[in-house]
Amino acid sequence: MYFEPMANKTYKNLLIVESPSKAKTINKYLGSDFKVMATVGHIIDLPKSNLGVDVENNYEPQLDTIYGKGKVVKELKKAIPKEGDVYLAMDPDREGEAIAYHTSVELSLKKPKRVTFHEITEEAVKKAVANPGEINMNLVEAQKARRVLDRLVGYKLSELIWKKIWYGLSAGRVQSVALRLVVEKEEEREAFKKEEYWEVSVKLKDSDKNIVIAKLSTKEGKKYIPKNENEVKDILEGIGDSKFLVKEVTVKKKSKHAYPPFTTSTLQQSANTILGYTSKRTMSIAQALYQSGYITYMRTDSVYLAKKAIDQIKKLVEDKYGKEYIPQKPNYYKNKVKNAQEAHEAIRPTDFSLDLSQIEKEHGKAAVMLYELIWKRAVSSQMSNKEVEVLKVSLKPKDLDKPEYIFTLGGERTLFDGFRRVLGNKKDADDLQEISKLRRGDELEKVEFVNEQKFTQPPARYTEASLIKKLEELGIGRPSTYSSIISTIRGRGYVEFEAKAIFPTDIGRVVTNFLRGNFKRLVDYKYTAKVEDDLDDIALGKKEYVPVIDKEYKSLMENIKKADKEVNKEDVVILGKSDEKCPECGGEMVVRIGRYGKFLSCARFPECKGMRDLNGQEDSLDYGKYFKPEKCPKCGAKMVLKNGKYGKFWACEKYPECKGIVPLLLNEKCPKCGNHLVERKSKWGKTFIGCSNYPNCTYIKGSKNNEQT
């Protein structure tokens, strides 16, 4: 429902926002002259059941009133004052501008006043209301272009994928590029060939009997890493029992500058790395904090801080930590993102002295943790540099001139912690005290060599943090889209998560291969970034809506027509041949991709429907942990392990004649009701163990509530 804070009939002005929470906060700051109401998001949108874009008439979107919003529009119309003004106070970005415009059109407003603010505080709200502007139609056009282009690409491309792979799959303009990144990272890992190398270190004892460890660094002046055990043996035999001589001791002082305050991208990255939050959860919490007036607007690619905020931080730092923690001049940061303009300020608290108990009371502990992350980053961004002393010691075997092997050890000592006083500090090297005593010409006695065989590792899979960082580096997407991009490819079953790592599913690979093979331009990184630049140019008034959309749509339809003619469905869904024989006719079988992964299918399909599960991996299942049902609960037939959209499950071997299924249960029983326990995932993607008899039994393993009962 929309938010109607008061039944006041004497108000002169109506102020409309998109969020009930935002309306509630703003209502505290405006007097009885104002009535504050909310649209509860968009009130009109493209239809779900058809394309909704008139491609023959300048690509005009055919917008419908969203189901349930008719009543909202009706109530808003009734609330329009006869003599006063209507203020549209939606969020300060393209989407907010579009909601403001659509609201104006639906309510038939003649001269609405557009007000924007980047923090919901009394000062900011009153200042905005006192200085209203007009709806920025360039921003509206840019948002319309994004929405229409995404609909055209998604709708038309998905239609083709339904024909060439199977019904229900989909593709998107930006999501498909993100999926390509994940797939190509996995291909890079699979193509990786590990190489052996050895880490050679020597344990040494100085004149005071202190032990230090130096690592082999160079050979004959060049970086050197032994590749095999024979090379290591040559090194050890050459050095023998020689003492080690300190060749050089270098001491350097370094200054480490503070990090800029958070943008949308860096907030999502840090929250994922430090707190383990998904980007979706981060943005959900950040939005709640913004709407309650605790932080500035959470969708921004700017690192700028207002003078008011810098002054607040300066006073806080001086009072709490001392003048030495304040730099001579305020720290300013340069925006690295091209066309950074989604908002005018970085993400920061609106009040740096806020009592955290108020946030916890309203939004919970998770919100407090995110708020603290934002607070620390904003405050530390305006603090002095960290000053460190870096020590490096180079040693060589005393009795060996050729070849010259150099071993090094070093450490770092903090002289002044600076911004790290707030942001947190890394520990200095434990052995720095011993190292600092070494001088050029000192001799150390060899205690022993420490040699370790290692192998090079494949590149790490993307996490949400690293994927968002990569998307931003490539110029793909914008602050408001990163969370939805990842949520979309995950929701479609194209990727899965293992801890924090993202890896593609079989169907994710098939869709990516299909697009790479037939729509190279569409999933090209530079091309996708160029489209984002075009949308930015529309927002800046440099380009017009119709030419941009027309160019992209016509190119897309040419590719679709070509692929529709040239691509055979069997070439897409059949991945290769199998040595196994069909259980129905004894003929050859092929590896086919299905909705839930790979399976074996008769090569004569659809004449013969013989098939066999390939991806359940029943033999590898840990039966000490998981329960294996003896028979189908519906027909009594054998159960086979299968992979589904939400993981493994047991299904009747007579499917599709019998649709009996059993979830992948644990052998462990519920202590409350005696049913099997099962692994589940929370809405934020975290795995927990609960009773399979939910909702009749709400037991959750490890829950404090259960422990208390």
Q: What is the mean pLDDT of the chain?
A: 90
Only one residue has tokens 């100085």, namely 206
Cα 518 to Cα 495, 511, 524, distances in angstroms: 21, 11, 12
- The CATH number of the domain where 362 resides is what? 1.10.290.10
Domain residues for the domain of 62 are 13-135
Question: Is the separation of the CB atoms in 157 and 51 below 8 Å?
Answer: no
Q: What is the DSSP letter of 458?
A: P
Of the residues 380, 400, 415, the one at which a domain ends: 380
**Which residue intervals of 337-492 are DSSP H helices?**
356-363, 365-380, 420-423, 432-435, 464-474, 482-491
- β-pair type (665-669, 676-681): antiparallel
Query: What confidence score (pLDDT) does residue 583 get?
Result: 81
Q: What is the pLDDT of residues 547-576, one digit of tens each?
A: 999 999 999 999 999 999 999 888 888 888
Query: What confidence score (pLDDT) does residue 708 get?
Result: 40
Residue 658 domain-assigned?
A: no
Do 253 and 268 fall within a single domain? no
Q: What is the pLDDT of residues 214-236, one digit of tens each?
A: 999 999 999 999 999 999 999 99
256 has a pLDDT exceeding 50? yes
Do 269 and 366 fall within a single domain? yes
Do 472 and 447 fall within a single domain? no
Say whether 297 is catalytic.
yes
Question: Is the separation of the CB atoms in 423 and 259 below 8 Å?
Answer: yes
17 has a pLDDT exceeding 60? yes
Number of H helices, E strands in the chain: 21, 27
Query: What confidence score (pLDDT) does residue 592 get?
Result: 83
- The CATH number of the domain where 94 resides is what? 3.40.50.140
220-234, 317-331, 644-658: which range is least confident on average? Answer: 644-658
Only one residue has tokens 């070509």, namely 562
Question: Is the separation of the CB atoms in 552 and 519 below 8 Å?
Answer: no
Confidence bin at 619 (pLDDT 50/70/90): low
As a whole number of angstroms, the distance between CA 450 and CA 493 comes to 47
Do 27 and 104 fall within a single domain? yes
26 has a pLDDT exceeding 50? yes
Amino acid 709 reads T
Q: What is the DSSP letter of 632?
A: -
| Domain total in the chain | 4
Using a 10 angstrom Cβ sphere, with 0-12 exposed, 13-18 middle and 19 or more buried, the burial of residue 461 is buried
Residue 675 domain-assigned?
A: no
Do 328 and 402 fall within a single domain? no
430 has a pLDDT exceeding 60? no
Q: What is the pLDDT of residues 149-178, one digit of tens each?
A: 999 999 999 999 999 988 888 899 999 999
* Segment 402-419 mean pLDDT: 93
Residue 249 domain-assigned?
A: yes
Confidence bin at 591 (pLDDT 50/70/90): confident
342 has a pLDDT exceeding 50? no
Only one residue has tokens 């003896």, namely 630
> ∠ CA(235), CA(241), CA(243), 5° rounding?
100
Do 551 and 504 fall within a single domain? yes
Confidence bin at 3 (pLDDT 50/70/90): very low
Cα 249 to Cα 252, 438, 453, distances in angstroms: 10, 8, 29
As a whole number of angstroms, the distance between CA 229 and CA 125 comes to 70
6 has a pLDDT exceeding 60? no
633 has a pLDDT exceeding 80? yes
Peptide bond into 695 cis (omega under 30): yes
Do 469 and 550 fall within a single domain? yes
- The CATH number of the domain where 214 resides is what? 2.70.20.10
Query: What confidence score (pLDDT) does residue 706 get?
Result: 61
As a whole number of angstroms, the distance between CA 690 and CA 696 comes to 12
3-state secondary structure of 213: strand
In the Cβ-directed half-sphere of 440, how many Cα atoms lie within 13 Å? Answer: 5
**Which residue intervals of 202-327 are DSSP H helices?**
229-239, 264-270, 279-291, 307-320
Residue 351 domain-assigned?
A: yes
As a whole number of angstroms, the distance between CA 182 and CA 495 comes to 8
Q: What is the pLDDT of residues 70-117, one digit of tens each?
A: 999 999 999 999 888 999 999 999 999 999 999 999 999 999 999 999
Question: Given 297, 325, 405, 462, which residue is catalytic?
Answer: 297
Do 234 and 373 fall within a single domain? no
Q: Which helix (H) or strand (E) holds 557?
A: helix 545-566
Residue 601 domain-assigned?
A: no
3-state secondary structure of 298: coil
348 has a pLDDT exceeding 80? yes
Do 32 and 98 fall within a single domain? yes
Do 562 and 468 fall within a single domain? yes
616 has a pLDDT exceeding 80? no
Cα 429 to Cα 390, 466, 653, distances in angstroms: 10, 28, 60
Q: Which residue has the higher pLDDT, 654 or 644?
A: 654
Of the residues 455, 482, 514, the one at which a domain ends: 455
Of the residues 501, 535, 567, the one at which a domain ends: 567
Residue 247 domain-assigned?
A: yes
